[in-house]
């Protein structure tokens, strides 16, 4: 029997998970998403083409591989339809190699509007949600009120939909939110609802399965399964910078409940981290840079949200946070992305510890959002050269390899690969 390998983001998302999953897919039979929803934006680049995936696993362009949307994922049918259409336009054939869990919850139009209502009610404490309805949909799941993909086949689906929508309208009312006049993506609730209902027809054409049986059967047959995480440890509902987090379990533990695999069936854990840090939306970010260097990271790294287009906040790599993520996830293989963004830098910094109230610590305090955290930096010399055309790890500049080695020592996890461009071909395994 094989085990499920897992690939996770270790910072605040957008580490390059999609690219690395695409690169690792040839080694696997099945790629499965286990949490999150259309808040994710996973970018793949190959043969001069760029593609951003939201709910569909990043193995989808490999036609002979099965892709699974697991029970822990939440799905918005209109966004799903758009994704399918743009995949088909690019030559993929998702109706053949995409299976969907019947237990995955549905994002209703009113969930998305409630997301906006919640953010409005929070005023200047808003989270900076992607407004995809993530919080309200997971709230309904936990409150045992949600609708699931399998429910679209039931004769009373419309009735149950209307009931849930009514509840959402009442909630919006208590938040003083004018749902009747609100437009999302230019649509009123009625217009959006009509589009949403029509999109269900496409969803019904897919293989809707009990994915926990499917995944476990694959393991039984010695097939290789890779679970693809969305978001990242620092956005995890339990361990992230709460309340500035998403509403799902983005750490390794989420794989068990999000796919129905037992902890004993989890194998290697690939942790993905950028050579610096970014964050979209609100919340603490101790190493954030507000200077020219921050701007350079943003510009060189094209740090604009794959889902919302918002500029990402940028800063130096944060080792206390990275060690924390590795601890929570049990990372066995660390993969570093985007060092090429700093090719021109004279100096590169790593935050190796925090100073909080005069004390140096490596522990992320409970009061992370409110305490003044002073990052302690170690400065490294930049390698000052392009990495383009380098195809072997050994051929990287010595200064860069020394930097990678130091990073590995300080995090305490083996760095097994370095990514040096957005393209599929540029991952150097060690």
Rank residues 14 and 318 by Cβ distance to ligand IMO and give the closer one. 14
Identified binder of ligand GDP from the candidate list 306, 313, 323, 326, rule CB under 6 A: 306
Please say whether the beta carbons of 234 and 8 come within 8 A: no
Site for ligand GDP contains 281 (CB under 6 A):
no
For ligand GDP, the closer of residues 40 and 100 by Cβ is 40
Residue 354, by phi and psi: left (phi above 0), alpha (psi -120 to 50) or beta?
A: beta
Yes or no: say if 392 and 428 are a contact pair by the CB < 8 Å rule: yes
Residue 308 touching ligand GDP (CB under 6 A): no
Surface-to-core class of residue 69, CB atoms within 10 Å of its CB (0-12 exposed, 13-18 middle, 19+ buried): buried
Q: Does 283 bind ligand GDP (CB under 6 A)?
A: no
Q: Tell me the three state secondary structure of residue 193.
A: helix
Neighbour-count burial for 232-241, b at 16+ CB within 10 Å, e otherwise: bbbbbbebbb
Q: Which is nearer to Mg ion, 130 or 199 (CB)?
A: 130
Nearer to Mg ion, 228 or 426 (CB): 228
Give 130 or 293: the residue with its C-beta nearer to ligand IMO. Answer: 130
The answer to whether residue 14 forms part of the interface with ligand GDP (CB under 6 A) is yes
What contacts 264, CB < 8 A, 6 or more positions away? none
Q: Is residue 306 a contact point for Mg ion (CB under 5 A)? A: yes
In this structure, the number of other CB atoms found within 10 A of the CB of residue 369 comes to: 14
Q: Name which position in 37, 41, 133, 339 contacts Mg ion (CB under 5 A).
A: 41
Q: In 3-state terms, what secondary structure has residue 18?
A: helix
201 given a catalytic annotation: no
The 408-427 contact track toward ligand GDP, x by CB under 6 A, reads -----------xxxx-----
Hey, which residues between 105 and 144 contact ligand GDP (CB under 6 A)? Answer: none
Question: Which residues contact ligand IMO by CB under 6 A?
Answer: 9, 12-14, 39-42, 127-130, 132, 134-135, 230-232, 235, 246, 280-281, 306
Alpha-carbon distance of 44 to 51, in angstroms, equals 5
In the complex, minimum distance from the CB of residue 307 to ligand GDP, in angstroms, rounded to a whole number:
8
Beta bridge partners of 43: 52
* Residue partners of 329: CB distance under 8 A and separation at least 6: 6, 8, 10, 233, 251, 252, 269, 271
- CB under 5 to 8 A by kind: which of ligand IMO, ligand GDP, Mg ion, none does 337 bind? ligand GDP
Decide which of ligand IMO, Mg ion, ligand GDP, none touches 140; Cβ closer than 5 to 8 Å per partner kind. none
Question: Is 168 a catalytic site residue?
Answer: no
In the set 5, 22, 42, 111, the catalytic residue is 42
Site mask for ligand GDP (CB under 6 A), range 322-361, x = bound: ---------------xx-xx--------------------
Q: Which of 5, 6, 12, 15 binds ligand GDP (CB under 6 A)?
A: 15
**Residue 337 and residue 276 in contact, taking contact as beta carbons nearer than 8 Å:** no
Residues whose CB falls within 8 Å of the CB of residue 142, separated by 6 or more in sequence, listed in order: none
Q: Is 46 helix (H, G, I), strand (E, B) or coil?
A: strand
Pairwise CA distance, residues 152 & 134, whole Å: 20
Helix then strand count (H, E) for the chain reads: 12, 19
Contacts with ligand GDP, 35-74, as mask; x by CB under 6 A: ------xxx-x-----------------------------
CA distance 54 to 296: 27
Give the span between the Cα atoms of 226 and 34, in whole angstroms: 10
Please say which residue, 266 or 282, places its beta carbon nearer to ligand IMO. Answer: 282
Q: Closer CB to ligand GDP, residue 199 or residue 337?
A: 337
Work out the angle at residue 39's Cα, subtended by the Cα atoms of residues 201 and 266, and round it to the nearest 5 degrees.
Answer: 95
Interatomic CA distance for residues 339 and 420, integer angstroms: 6
Closest contact distance (angstroms) between CB of 400 and ligand IMO is: 25
* Catalytic-labelled residue, pool 5, 14, 140, 318: 14
- Please identify, using beta-carbon distances, which residue of 208 and 341 lies nearer to ligand GDP: 341
Q: Which of residues 70-89 bind Mg ion (CB under 5 A)?
A: none
Give CA angle at 95 (229, 37), nearest 5°. 30
Q: Name the binder of 281 from ligand GDP, ligand IMO, Mg ion, none, CB < 5-8 A by kind.
A: ligand IMO
Partners of 272 in the β-ladder = 9, 335
- List the catalytic residues: 14, 42
**What is the binding site for Mg ion (CB under 5 A)?**
14, 41, 306
Q: Which residues bind ligand GDP (CB under 6 A)?
A: 9, 13-19, 41-43, 45, 302, 306, 337-338, 340-341, 419-422
């Amino acid at each position: 029997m094989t085990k499920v390998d897992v690939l996770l983001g270790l910072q605040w998302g957008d580490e390059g998970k999609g690219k690395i999953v695409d690169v690792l897919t040839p080694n696997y039979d099945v790629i499965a998403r286990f949490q999150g929803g259309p808040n994710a934006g996973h970018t793949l680049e190959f043969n001069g083409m760029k593609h951003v995936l939201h709910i569909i696993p990043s193995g989808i362009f490999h036609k002979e591989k099965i892709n699974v949307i697991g029970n822990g994922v939440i799905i918005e049918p209109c966004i799903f339809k758009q994704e399918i259409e743009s995949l088909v336009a690019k030559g993929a054939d998702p109706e053949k190699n995409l299976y969907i869990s019947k237990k995955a919850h549905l994002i209703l139009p009113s969930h998305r509007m409630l997301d906006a209502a919640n953010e409005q009610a929070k005023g200047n404490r808003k989270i900076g949600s992607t407004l995809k309805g993530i919080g309200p949909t997971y709230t309904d799941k936990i409150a045992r009120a949600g609708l699931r993909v399998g429910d679209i086949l039931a004769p009373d689906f419309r009735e149950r939909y209307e009931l849930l929508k009514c509840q959402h309208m009442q909630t919006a009312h208590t938040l003083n939110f004018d749902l009747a006049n609100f437009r999302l993506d230019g649509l009123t609730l009625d217009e959006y609802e009509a589009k949403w209902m029509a999109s269900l027809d496409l969803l019904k054409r897919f293989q809707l399965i009990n994915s926990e049986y499917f995944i476990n059967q694959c393991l039984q047959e010695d097939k290789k399964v890779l679970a693809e995480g969305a978001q990242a440890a620092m956005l995890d509902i339990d361990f992230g910078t709460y309340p500035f987090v998403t509403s799902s379990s983005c750490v390794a533990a989420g794989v068990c409940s999000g796919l129905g695999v037992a902890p004993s069936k989890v194998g290697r854990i690939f942790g993905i981290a950028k050579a610096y840090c970014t964050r979209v939306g609100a919340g603490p970010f101790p190493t954030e840079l507000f200077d020219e260097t921050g701007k350079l990271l943003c510009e060189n790294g094209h740090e604009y949200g794959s889902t919302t287009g918002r500029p990402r906040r940028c800063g130096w790599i944060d080792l206390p946070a990275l060690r924390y993520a590795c601890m929570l996830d049990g990372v066995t293989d660390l993969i570093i992305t985007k060092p090429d963004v700093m090719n021109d830098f004279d100096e590169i910094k790593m935050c190796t510890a925090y100073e909080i109230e005069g004390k140096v610590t490596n522990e992320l305090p409970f009061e992370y959002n409110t305490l003044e955290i002073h990052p302690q930096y170690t400065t490294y010399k930049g390698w000052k050269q392009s990495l383009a055309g380098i195809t072997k790890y050994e051929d990287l500049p010595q200064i860069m390899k020394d930097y990678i080695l130091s990073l590995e020592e300080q995090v305490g996890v083996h760095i097994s690969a370095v990514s040096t461009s957005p393209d599929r071909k540029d991952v150097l395994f060690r």
